[in-house]
Amino acid sequence: MTHNNRLLKNIITRLSIILYLLISQIGCKEQTIEDKINLYTDSLKHSPNNLLYYEERAKLYYFASQYENSLPDVKRAIELGSKNYEVYFIAGCIYSHDSTYDKAVKYLSRGIELGGDTDADHSQRFSQRFYRGMAYIKLRNYELAIKDLEKINDKGNYSGILSECYLFEKQLNKAIEELIKYSITQQIDSVGFVHMTYKDIASLYAINGDYRNAFEYINKAIQKSDMAKYLCFRGIIYCKLKNYELAISDLDKVVSLDAKNNLAEYYLSMLFAEKKDNPKAILHFNKAIQKGFFFLDLVNQNNIFKDMRKINNYKQLMSKYLRRNEIQSKINIMSQIFKQDKISSAEKHRFASDRIDAIFAQPGKLNEFIKLHQLLMESSGVFE
């Protein structure tokens, strides 16, 4: 085939693509994604270095969820000098999908650079900042995640995610501020789970030692839901505010509503130990361990139990308690909760949740609270 013939064939091929697309747009032919892919594939046989064809086919493969085919086209388009931010966006999304977050950040960053600041490109840059922010979270680079999510937070409600990032950066006031914004949005949208957000706000205030504000938000949670756990948390806050009678009243209600609640029994034990009523303190402590309370470190670190620990009944109780296989099993699991691949995600989630509840309103446990919260978010797939 002569040079002129090859040139003519390429021109005809390109014109056929244009004609095909024009015809489909005016309704004469309904084309599927596969039709379009096949058209670009045929065209690439005649024009193997055509940048536009690789870009367009990469997008089509991506929209068809054929990531294994889209990525090679993306790479080839980049080799050919593509400056199309959508190509880099696709690469970033595919690498995020494959959990290769460092590469996702690299390609999304380049896509953001190429997207410019025009209104037409805003939605694309918005998406890329979101995906890059989520990739940074997966890489535990919360500072950079915050920068991306803050830039798009006015266009979408990401206050809940931002709150988590601020918490992991130990910026509790900012975390609380974002969570309050999130709760307001939930109220406007009539979301039925706003009580959970109120509880989380109360939890952040409580771990920060601000029991007055914690009390305000746990009351809001109780007004929205009759969960016994919220009454238990209010009882704990009453303990911190030294309003012991109201604390006992709330915790008594908890054990009547939830027969398995061991945390309420533990705090009732602590309250009676504070009142020097050791028989009742031991009674409730026995109930707590019978119901599965196994956080011995909290008991041993609690000076309120100092006198009770000297009593023979308590010593016998603890000796019997420590011989129980299921208790030892729980203690062993808890000791390995931060180790990779030692226990399942489901167990990590369950034990982290129990421990977070147990250290509610204990500011001295802030670092542990943050680590557990991080583990809880990751094991639950919230940032997927």
Hey, CA dihedral for 265, 268, 270, 272, is it positive or negative? Answer: negative
The residues near 302 (Cβ < 8 Å, ≥ 6 apart) are 270
**What is this structure's pTM?**
0.82
Contact 95, 101 (CB under 8 A): yes
CA 247 to CA 264: how far, in whole Å?
10
pLDDT digits (tens, 9 = 90+) for 257-287: 999 999 999 999 999 988 888 889 889 988 9
**Cα–chain center distance at 179:** 13
Give the burial string for 266-296 (b: 16+ CB within 10 Å, else e). Answer: bbbbbbbbeeeebeebbbbbbbbbebebbbe
Q: What is the rounded distance in angstroms from the CA atom of residue 366 to the CA atom of residue 384?
A: 25
Taking CA atoms, 345 is separated from 76, 97, 212, 377, in Å, by 38, 19, 35, 11
Q: How confident is the model over 229-240, as a mean pLDDT?
A: 96
For the stretch 162-191, pLDDT in tens is 999 999 999 999 999 999 999 988 776 565
- The span from the CA of 330 to the CA of 325, in Å, is 9
Q: Letter for the amino acid at 249?
A: S
CATH architecture of 158-242: Alpha Horseshoe (1.25)
Task: List all residues 6 or more positions away from 137 whose beta carbon is below 8 Å from its beta carbon.
Answer: 145, 161, 165, 383
With DSSP H G I counted as helix, E B as strand and the rest as coil, what are the percentages for the chain, rounded to 5? Answer: 75, 0, 25
In 235-263, which positions are buried (b, 16+ CB within 10 angstroms) versus exposed (e)? bbbbbbeeeeeebbebbebbbeebeebbb
> For residue 107, what are its two tokens?
């390609």
Domain ranges of the chain: 158-242
Q: What DSSP assignment string belongs to 339-362? A: STTTS-HHHHHHHHHHHHHHTTT-
pLDDT (tens digit per residue) in 309-363? 666 666 666 676 666 666 666 767 777 777 766 677 788 888 889 999 999 999 9
pLDDT in tens, 6-16: 555 555 455 55
Supply the pLDDT for residue 26: 42
The number of helix segments (H) and strand segments (E) in the chain equals 21, 0
Residue-wise DSSP of 143-170: HHHHHHHHHHTTTS--HHHHHHHHHHTT
pLDDT higher than 50, residue 157: yes
Kindly report which listed range (71-75, 163-167, 373-377) carries the lowest average pLDDT score.
373-377
At 235 the three-state DSSP class reads helix
Contact present, 165 and 149 (Cβ < 8 Å)? yes
